[in-house]
Amino acid sequence: MIPTAPERRRALLLGLGGAAALVAGGTGLALTLGKGTDGDGAGDTESGAEAARRPKVRPWRHDVKLDLPTLCTAADGVLYVAADFRITALDARTGHKRWDGPRLLFLPNQPAVADGSVYVGGGDELWALDADGRKKWTFPTEGQIHSRPTLAGGIVYFASQDKHVYAVRADGGRKVWSRPLGDEIQGSPTVADGTVYIGCDGKDSTLYALDASSGAKKWDFPADGGFAQKPVVSGGLVYAGAGDGSLYAINSEKGTRKWSVPGTTGADPTVCLAGDTLCVAGADGRVHALDASTGAKKWTHEGMSTVNPTQLAVAGGLVYFSETLSAVGSVRALDADDGSERWSTATGAKMSPGNRDTGPVTAYGFVYVTNESGVLALDAATGKAPGPATSASPAGGGTAG
């Protein structure tokens, strides 16, 4: 049975596996940005030299008139948007449409892109599209695919609600292996150093490490509430937030705990790395920064209880997130060093439902978000937004575009 659009949106809001953008747990590519101006006179201001080095960007929007846009991915100068039962490719710098993919029988999840091909799930099939949006192949499963694919070494890794993790060849869709786990899988995998890391919640509240070439289990790590969000792997550690709000740093080879912080945030905290700092957000509206090696707290941005921040993105010394409960679709940027707010921009409409599990995408000097009106590209350094319907707070120096 194919879910209706409202059913699919409700499912997305229940935590269908983070995504992260093009790096684990986050949503973006690295870029170099200067710090924005405080606007109220406090804090650092951008020097002339910094402004000259900052990418020249012109904020833009792409309106979507039919079904709401959900998720997007940036790669090779293209922004791939999942909306209206298809994938649409936009020029990432101008917003001009390049192509519309074929109409799908499901609302697609956040796509993954590698070597000019686009991989996306959402129904009970994984689809592969070529660089022009034409179908290359499909791979069927026995359940809905809420997992965002991850590519490594010519293999596409993803999970299905049929309780299996899959590895299929990117060049033809042939199955390499599948591995059953203990319950339906909402989360997305992270692949690093020949290992696939993926979490389960529900009855099987466990984080797994699987051999990337065979699917054989290397270790498992159980925790209360399970692991619905995508883990982050760096420096021999796996960072993962559990359903009870706790945060864990786990030895990537042995599966043993190095440190943990109980009750860090609300349920299913999302994590990303900014150098040696681990940034964490949850449903309680707060964003924390921890020392990645010890778990010691560096700072906390209190936010608001109604914020319910999305996945985090880090680029150029700033931490970005959107507010899923904001009536005006606010996007914020924090200083990664001290948690101070650099800017806050209202996009003019509520964030579309998929944002809770993906968040902003950063690339080419932009922050890309989707709200109930369409896709917006904000200036990543200042928060400047396109069009007369948007505005920015004085804290960011961004004004209506």
Tell me the C-alpha distance between 326 and 88, whole Å: 26
Least confident of 89-98, 204-213, 279-288, 365-374: 279-288
For residue 11, the SS3 value is helix
Q: Beta-strand (E) ranges in 121-174?
A: 125-129, 135-140, 150-152, 155-159, 164-169
Nearest Cα neighbor of 359 from 314, 394, 399, 310 is 310
Instruction: Provide the CB-side half-sphere exposure for 209 (13 A, CA).
Output: 22
The residue-averaged pLDDT of 273-297 equals: 89
Q: Beta-strand (E) ranges in 309-387?
A: 313-315, 318-322, 330-335, 341-346, 361-363, 366-371, 374-379
Q: Is residue 132 very low, low, confident or very high in pLDDT (cuts 50, 70, 90)?
A: very high
Nearest Cα neighbor of 80 from 110, 60, 105, 57 is 110
204-228 confidence digits (pLDDT tens): 899 999 999 999 999 999 998 889 8
The residue-averaged pLDDT of 391-395 equals: 39
The residue-averaged pLDDT of 63-87 equals: 84
b/e burial code for range 276-294 (CB count within 10 A of at least 16 → b): ebbbbbbbbbbbbbbebee
Q: With 80 as the cut, is the pLDDT of residue 309 above it?
A: no
pLDDT at res. 68: 64
Cβ atoms within 10 Å of 352's Cβ, excluding its own: 27
pLDDT at res. 55: 60
223-276 confidence digits (pLDDT tens): 988 898 899 999 999 999 988 888 999 999 999 999 999 876 666 788 899 889
On whether the CB atoms of residues 369 and 28 are closer than 8 A, the answer is no
pLDDT at res. 169: 98
pLDDT at res. 306: 54
